[in-house]
Structure 1
Amino acid sequence: MMTEDFFKLPEVPSEEFELPAMPLRDLVVFPAMVVPLFVGRDFSVRAIESALKRDRLILLVLQKEKNVEEPDKEGIYSMGVIAHIIRATPLEEGKLKILVQGIKRADIKDYYKKEDHYWALVKAIDEKEINPEELSKEEGAYISAVKELLDRAVALGKQVIPDLLMVIRELEDPGKLADLTASISDIKSHEAQKVLESLDPIERLKLVHQYLSNEVGMLEVQSRIRNTARERIEKEQREYFLRQQLRAIQEELGELDEKKEEVENYRKKLAQLKLSKETREEIEKQIKRLERMHPESAEAGVIRTWLDWVLELPWNKKTKDRYNLERVQEILDRDHYNLEKVKERIVEYLAVKKLTKGKSTAVQILCFVGPPGVGKTSLGKSIAEALGKKFVRISLGGIRDEAEIRGHRRTYVGALPGRIIQAVKQAGTKNPLIVLDEIDKISISFQGD
């Protein structure tokens, strides 16, 4: 799509003159550039036909809003390019394909519609001649920097015709270098128009250097993204290949079916539970870890024990509390003789619980104190029966390690949940009545009771 001396160009008048005009939606044509254009608007086709009957010169100018079908003088920029129509080929439905070559920048004095297409009164702008030997060091550095940036862009994947790249590398004229580089840069149409309107070759080259730097920065980011994606894909492919090999080995050893059945069983149990998002994600994470492990590894046994306990807990089973105080009194009187003050305190406690049901209140615990055999544990059993709760007794006598109550870390061999979690599982509901029995015998030592 170039270059300057391929075709013999007609002379462009130095004074103001009139010629057919064609607005372009989103393309800026630069001097000395050869570009193909597809023309579909009727007034544009008529302008080309008019130019072909004359001297084949036409004004190409960018319109400010690309969605405007027929822009007026206010809808186009004040500077365009006088171009030569090299070839015009008719297409279907009255459209044209043309090949044009930019000649000179043009200052648009007037723009109007005459007959069935647009005309413009323009004055050609001659390019300022610069001797490469007279360039300052800074200007020479900009020329080198633009060429280096373009080479960097090509190395990062930018598509440029090799012959055109060779021409750019040989150019030393800052104005022509700026125009040629801008024509192949990935810049927006209004940015290209700024380059076209920059008449000073050095300032134009600086502007192109800025746009090209931005493009190279974007290409570097895209390159990093592609490399990251490629590495991720390669890693996933490698893992897939290794898993297939492991699968084949497990099939030979007969381990695959048992392991797959075990994992599917865990997933079925998980699907039946109504859990919070965080809890479900943690359980799924552990199931995936187990799936990737060798079934005979020590870590697999730890995860298997943890999953067995977690999935067998009564997450969704709950008994309905019955705060019938008359029934409570009746059951307490039936199971326990006398103890009137104790029974009265229990009924008062349950009455408060009934009144504050569903409200956010501080949790209270009943503490029974007395010698052995007076009925402390049986009182708890009677309360559970009266409220319709499951009853669980946890004996704390002789416990020397708090981990017995709250549970051990999973990393320990033979680690199990604490007494409270075991009691919840034993009860089969998530809201049982738990009696912590013999709490006074937990620990007697120099560390305190």
Structure 2
Amino acid sequence: MASLSRADVYASRYPLLILQSAVLFPGNAVTLAIGRAEAFRAVELARQQQAALVVVVYADGRRGDQLVHQVGTLARVAEVQLQAGQRLQVRLEGLRRVRLLAVDMAGAAPQARVEQLLPNVTPAAFAAVERVRALAGELQRQLGLPDGETLRVLETTDDPDRFADLLATQLVRDLPYRQRLLELVDPLERLEQLAGLIERELARRRPVVEPPTAAAPVPSRPSAEPAALLDEANEAREEAERLRRRLAECGAPPAVVERIEQEIDRLARMPQSAAEATVARTYIETVLSIPWAVETPETVELARARAILERDHFGLEQVKERLLDYLAVRALTGEQSGSGTVLCFVGPPGVGKTSLARSIAEALGRRFVTVSLGGIRDEAEIRGHRRTYLGAYPGRIVEALRRAGTRNPVILLDELDKLATDYRGDPAAALLEVLDPEQNRHFVDHYLDVPVDLSRVLFIATANSLAPLPRPLRDRLEAIVIEGYTEDEKREIGRRHLLPRQLAVHGLPERALELTDTAWHELIRGYTREAGVRELERQLAALCRKVAREMVERGLNANGGLPRRRVTPAVLRRYLGPAPYQELGVSPEPQVGVAYGLGATPLGGTLVPVEVLAMPGRGQLQVTGQAGEVLQESARAALSWVRAHAGHFGLAPDFAERMDLHVHLPEGALPKDGPSAGLALVVALVSALTGRPVRSDLAVTGEITLRGRVLPVGGLRQKVLAAQRAGLGGLLAPAGNRAEAARLPATVTRRLTVHWVETVEQALELMLLAPPEQSSSGVLSPSSEGGVKAGKRSRSTEASRDSHPHR
């Protein structure tokens, strides 16, 4: 038992900890969760003073009138742990009974002046110990109370004071009765109360109870405890039987059954008021709530699956074909063969990644559960928290199984690329076990600490980009790229899905709004800038709000005969205001030193104007506009190629030493990087140095080498859509990307011409026009001041201009 320090013996004031539902006996320990501010301060004060504190209980079990019992326990703070939510887990060890003389609640922490209550141990108390010990042994054989470990301690304890407090801690659950026993300072009185309590409980189970002969009889006194106080023992036994029945019915594996049987036996021996009992009960209930044997039958009908995909999504033909292939394989080979494939839909926001996963679940007849991974930086969110921590709970994978209620749901791992990493672990690494079919058959959640079979779960992931994912995690995914919608597809999605949904949400008739084709065109181009359709739906919602307001102001309702509102571009601007988006840098006329590059971002394709100015200087190259390191390297490579071919363009060999070149990428607040701007940089540099304008109806993309080759780039579909959105007539792309032409939307390729180039010379032939001023002095050459002067057009330039007139 913990002992009092010298400071505690002579102290007159102690921090006061007031509890609501726990009575601490001397010589015993209890673990509590502290969350109230005054309790928090009392514990902190005791730790700072390295002193004990007084533990008492509210007189009515509540905090209403702030009345407390006058007898409490002087206790030592054995351990303190800070838990989540600014809560403390405190382990207290009881020392002595004390009586409160004065209470001070006005200070920083509650304090009390107390006097210690010392027990008066008599020979009769020692005799009563033997009798109560025999009764406790009989009670343990019949009811299992107290537990075996406590009974062994009682058999070796002869101190009447400690014996009575230890037995009361184990047997008495009623809070008022525990307080009554705490207020009995004389050990003999407590032993008499406990003896009478045990005898009455034994008498309820046997017609005749033979009195023990090992000790002299102890006169019993009338008891004031509630009737059938030990009914909690029956409740504990009934609870254990109920949990065992649930365990037998849940279909858990043998290893899990054995582990939970041990936990149920342990729970049955615990006092129900103990904090450990609540933890154990929560753990058992959590394990039993897992669908160990519940399974949803899977049905794979390709015709039905195709109908569901067509009903829920417009466009995305290649994605639908891939999904139908996947479902066909499952239909032929069975469910388990497809468990090793983890589909990952990769694309910008709003293109339908989540709805595709939901459609797959519906086509398979499985339940669908979403696990949001965005912003998770703690590994325990995946694997669960260990039960040693206060407030521990299972990981999100196990929680998804519990919500689904079946062991073979479709679990969507949403925003996989938004996982973070810090000192609490790497959640992406924890997902390796979840997604690996060789390991997830025996996935162990830290909270459950038993293996869970995830092999029958169909995992589907979504991400805006695969770049942030670790390579081992990417290796477990089969990426299906969704690069965005064309304008025609957005218009059809708006007509078929978005507008009817918003009309229903806003309480409008089904055909209350009708947008003309020109209104759809302006709405998509001028009021949205995205690869998906979320912003489009928000703008349609704004239109519906305006119409709903008109209905209310005119006193109409959904059935009040409101005429159909025909939305033209003028009506659109009146409702939504001026269009917030305008294409950047698209000039109607060719310009010198300006080429239009193309970029691919997680939000879709974008137009990237490249501007170059040549000026007298000392050969410096400056790149501005938040250009990344790779893009700056592309600029240096482009300049090196131009210098190596200076004679071809009529430039002096040392032109770069007598002029500065400034490359600027507008919209400097947005970071830009990547090698695909290399070809646009060459075109803009040659145009600025030779004075030849660049065609403004063509965009250009491609990585270059120092030998003048044009290498393939990524995100071609997004870049093509960006060029179409900007109103351009065509673009130059690397010949190495020609194989992707079949995947480009037909509605786009009919309006936009793609020129495939293999070398920089071919690109310059197509992009550069003749200089605006010509002279008969020959080809262009740098002037003595570092500038350039005009010369004759080459034959190739004439041919380029004749074959590709400016539009």
Please give the TM-score of this superposition, normalised by the length of structure 2. Answer: 0.25
Decide which structure has greater helix share: 1
Greater Rg over alpha carbons, structure: 1
Please give the TM-score of this superposition, normalised by the length of structure 1. Answer: 0.44
